[in-house]
């Protein structure tokens, strides 16, 4: 059985502005770094074999913060774990999209990566990591949309309608050839932030 903790990166300035990030390479903001520290503390109560991350800075920095706390120096970067490509939508807010393309902008393609493509890309990455760590425990730091589309492929019955929070943990495991999700979008570690930071 291989166990995974799927992590969405910490917060960025564009998250706060509600701007679509897609594959734009934004760094964490200060709150995002603090969130990653709290997450790392939570993960430190368990033993982990490896950390993989998207090669975009907001995910790789989150992974490095976790790795420092866990004593795992090598972060395996995988471009397949990048966020879904947003095309012309990247860098815009909802209000800006409505002003530019109308209220039904989401029905337009606008160069965005299709959900199905994200499912194929993300699922392939997780399956390959699983093969590299049979019976291991692996942390994967990625992005909200690609993680949800990956979960759609691996655990089709899972309700993924709730968007993933920054530094949330989703736990999946592969046992006897089948994937199961035991925890979705959990960020209870952030509740300690008021007291500890």
In the annotated binding site for substrate, the residues are: 8-15, 58
Binding residues, as ranges, are 8-15, 58
- How far apart (Å, rounded) are the C-alpha atoms in residues 114 and 172? 24
Q: Which of these is catalytic: 83, 113, 143, 189?
A: 83
Joined tokens for residue 11: 């917060």
Query: Phi, psi (5° rounding) for residue 25?
Result: -95, 80
133 belongs to the catalytic site: no
Q: Is 20 within 8 Å of 89 (Cβ atoms)?
A: yes
Q: Are strands 169-175 and 2-8 parallel, antiparallel or unpaired?
A: antiparallel
- How far apart (Å, rounded) are the C-alpha atoms in residues 170 and 157? 15
9 belongs to the catalytic site: yes
Burial class (CB in 10 A: 0-12, 13-18, 19+), 110: middle
Going by the DSSP 8-state scheme, the letter that residue 56 receives in this structure is S
Contacts of residue 45, defined as CB under 8 A and 6 or more positions apart, other chains included, come to: none
Which residues are identified as catalytic?
9, 83
């Amino acid at each position: 059985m291989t166990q995974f903790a799927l992590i969405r990166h910490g917060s960025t300035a564009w998250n706060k502005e509600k701007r679509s990030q897609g594959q734009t390479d934004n760094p964490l903001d200060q709150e995002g770094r603090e969130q990653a520290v709290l997450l790392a503390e939570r993960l430190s109560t368990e033993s982990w074999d490896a950390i993989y991350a998207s090669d975009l800075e907001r995910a790789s920095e989150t992974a490095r913060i976790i790795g420092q706390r866990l004593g795992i120096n090598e972060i395996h970067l995988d471009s397949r774990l990048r966020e879904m490509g947003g095309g012309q939508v990247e860098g815009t807010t909802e209000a800006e999209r409505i002003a530019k393309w109308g209220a039904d902008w989401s029905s337009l393609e606008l160069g965005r990566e299709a959900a199905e493509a994200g499912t194929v890309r993300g699922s392939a990455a997780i399956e390959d990591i699983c093969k590299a760590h049979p019976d291991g425990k692996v942390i994967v730091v990625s992005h909200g949309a690609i993680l949800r589309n990956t979960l759609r492929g691996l655990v089709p019955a899972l309700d993924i309608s709730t968007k993933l929070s920054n530094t949330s943990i989703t736990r999946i495991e592969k046992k006897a050839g089948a994937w199961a999700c035991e925890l979705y979008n959990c960020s209870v570690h952030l509740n300690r932030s008021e007291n500890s930071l």
